[in-house]
Amino acid sequence: MDFLAALIPLLPFLAASVIGIGMLLGWITGEKSESTTSTISIGSASLSTLLAFALLVGDLTGNGAGTYSIGQWLHSDLLQVEINFITTGFNVYLTALFAILLLIATRFSVNYLHREIGFHRYFFLLNLYTSAMLLLVSAGSTVGTFIGWEIAGLCSYLLINYAYDRDVPATNATRVFITNRIGDAGFVLGIGLSFFYADAVNWDDLNNIATQLSMPTATVIALCFTIAAFCKSAQLPFSPWLARAMEGPTPSSAIFYGAVMIHSGVFLMIMLQPLIEQAPFVMMLLAVTGFFTAAYSFVVGWTQTDVKSSLCFAITGQIGLMFMECGLGLWELAAWHLCAHAIVRCYQVLASPSFMTNVHGSPVKALSPHLQKIHWLYVASIQRFWLDPITDRVLTRPIKGLGEDLNFFDDYVVDRAMGDPVSSSRSISTLKQLEEKIKGTETLGDTPRHFGRGNGIAGKLMEWSGNILGWFEERLVIQAIGVNIIDLGRTLGHAANTFEELMLKPRYIVLFVFVFLLIAGTR
């Protein structure tokens, strides 16, 4: 019975592979192949759904073993990652629910995307995503869930980028993926730390050992996973990515950000219930962040003028409430909330293109007059609490600036210090140089030629020692100093000034703190 769990994500993966290979080799192309693609997609999604329900019945009637393992995926010393699945409880309910929602969205897309240029690409990605999501909710190990997590994120990137020949989707997709990458780093850190502290790669092992972990350890591990969850479920401070992600085709928005993927953060928290209960701080963080995200979404939602944006903030708001429920210890409620929300949102987002016709003639209810008077709240709502500009200011720009400075440093300091034989080899490589040579106006050759000329630290040292020896050879000719030393002093002073200015920039102060921590951490 339990072996079905392995087939559920495998079938859509095979469908994606068939469509992908077909596209690459030119077998599946154009409108005439649309029926092939849709048959494959719907077939695999239906089979997965049937299997998921079979598994659900098996679990409800008590015929399931609880876990199923195919075998080892990765093995290195004590680290042993298996390809295994959880075939009981919440995971199975969610697998069944998500499978059917994914099937519905797939069927909806067949008509919605008819005669679109990217039809086959869309279905390739949708199948891959179906597979990833079903793996995410059924995988038994942290690594397995992460694989689903990451591939779902990649599909999200590629579907936001569905109209890749326009600038806006491409920019948004990149930004969404990079924001999510921060959460992914938290997840990997969580995987690493749970292996390090608890020798646990499987969710069951981690939860079983959770009660034996000390509170700080449990807090650190839980915190890593919490960051990942906040990021994936668009909680504060990561919320802005969701509005950018609505760029993709509507059915994909419904299934990614309405029904399925957006809930994976809450799912992760519910999975880790025993661990998180060991960490009161994380519980508090969940409740507080959830509350603030709900409040933020509520306020920003007021001023949204299009359907997709309104829905987007409604979604983050509801999910914020789910996190709050988790934080308050109402795990069961959060689980029910998740399932109910997934179903309602799937319908709402799928139906959003016809929303305008449906509500024609019934105007939107105005905001209460008390709230209308609070102007700062209105501005904040319009500006979405300045989250994007703040991120730019605090994170993006300093990193970019650091990159610029390092680039300059590499070109003008490191490269020169290490030496570069460009000027010393004096080969003629451009036509201009050749002409100059013929005319005798060579710009490279106007300095007197020394026998040995060096570049960089090593080169200069050689050159200097050579010069000193030459100087002795010429029987200690007295050289005049004076002008040179003043020039040198001036140059040095200038360099020191620039250095001082650079060092006072906040990004370097932060950098020094990091370097200090790095060194302090190693000793």
Partner 1 sequence: MSVTDFPLLSLIILLPLFGAIVTSVIRNTGLAKLSALIFATLELALTLLALCLFDKTSGDFQLTEKLAWIPFLNIEYLLGVDGISILFLPLSALLTVTVILASWNAISYNQRFHFALILALQGITAGVFTALDMILFFFFWELTLPPLFFLIGLWGIGSQRRNAAMKYTLFMLAGGGPLLLAIVIMAANHATQVGGNFPQDLSFSLLALLETPLPAEKQTLVFVLLLFGFAFKAPLFPFHTWLPTTAMEGPTHVIALLAGLKLGVYGILRFAMPLAPTAAVEFSWILSVFGAATLIYGGLIALQQTNLRRLLAYASISHVGMVIVGVASLNMQGVQGAIFQLLNFTLIASSLMLIAGFIQRRLGSTDTVHLGGLAKVMPKLTCFYFLFALASFGIPGTSGFPAELLMIIGALTSHAVFGTAALAGAILGATYMLTFTQRAFFGPVTHVTVSQAQDLKFREFALLCVPALLILLFGLFPGTILSINQIASETWLARFLSVPTVL
- Contacting positions for partner 1 (CB under 8 A): 24, 72-79, 143, 146-147, 150-151, 154, 157, 161, 164-167, 169-171, 173-174, 177-178, 181-182, 185, 188-189, 191-193, 195-196, 399-400, 402-404, 406-407, 410, 414-415, 417-422, 425, 427, 429-430, 458, 517-519, 521-523
Q: What is the CA radius of gyration of the chain?
A: 31
DSSP letter, residue 431: H
Ramachandran sector of residue 385 (left: φ over 0; alpha: ψ -120 to 50; beta: rest):
left
Cα 74 to its chain centre, rounded Å, is 24
Choice between 93 and 225, CB closer to partner 1: 225
Residues facing residue 19 across a β-bridge: none
Choice between 77 and 473, CB closer to partner 1: 77
Choice between 124 and 296, CB closer to partner 1: 124
Quick one: CA dihedral 76, 80, 85, 90, positive or negative?
negative
Q: What angle do CA 471, 421, 438 make, to 5 degrees?
A: 95
| Helices and strands in the chain: count of H runs, count of E runs | 26, 2
What minimum distance in Å lies between the beta carbon of 10 and partner 1? Answer: 12
Choice between 26 and 448, CB closer to partner 1: 26
What minimum distance in Å lies between the beta carbon of 407 and partner 1? Answer: 4
Asked if 300 and 311 count as a contact pair (C-beta separation under 8 A), the reply is: no
DSSP letter, residue 73: E
What minimum distance in Å lies between the beta carbon of 3 and partner 1? Answer: 19
What minimum distance in Å lies between the beta carbon of 399 and partner 1? Answer: 7
Strand 79-86 versus strand 67-76 pairing type: antiparallel
- The amino acid occupying position 378 is Y
Asked if 246 and 173 count as a contact pair (C-beta separation under 8 A), the reply is: no
Choice between 42 and 185, CB closer to partner 1: 185
Choice between 72 and 484, CB closer to partner 1: 72
Choice between 357 and 425, CB closer to partner 1: 425
Choice between 104 and 152, CB closer to partner 1: 152
Q: How far apart are CA 95 and CA 15, in angstroms?
A: 18
Asked if 124 and 106 count as a contact pair (C-beta separation under 8 A), the reply is: no
What minimum distance in Å lies between the beta carbon of 161 and partner 1? Answer: 7
Choice between 390 and 434, CB closer to partner 1: 434
3-state SS, one letter per residue, for 458-493: HHHHHHHHHHHHHHHHCCCCCCCCCHHHHHHHHHHH
Choice between 166 and 490, CB closer to partner 1: 166
Q: How far apart are CA 250 and CA 271, in angstroms?
A: 30
Q: How far apart are CA 219 and CA 236, in angstroms?
A: 19
What minimum distance in Å lies between the beta carbon of 313 and partner 1? Answer: 26
Q: What angle do CA 16, 19, 25 make, to 5 degrees?
A: 135
Choice between 58 and 186, CB closer to partner 1: 186
Cα 100 to its chain centre, rounded Å, is 27
Task: Mark 410-428 as b/e (b = at least 16 C-beta within 10 Å).
Answer: eeeeeeeeebeeeeeeeee
Asked if 207 and 273 count as a contact pair (C-beta separation under 8 A), the reply is: yes
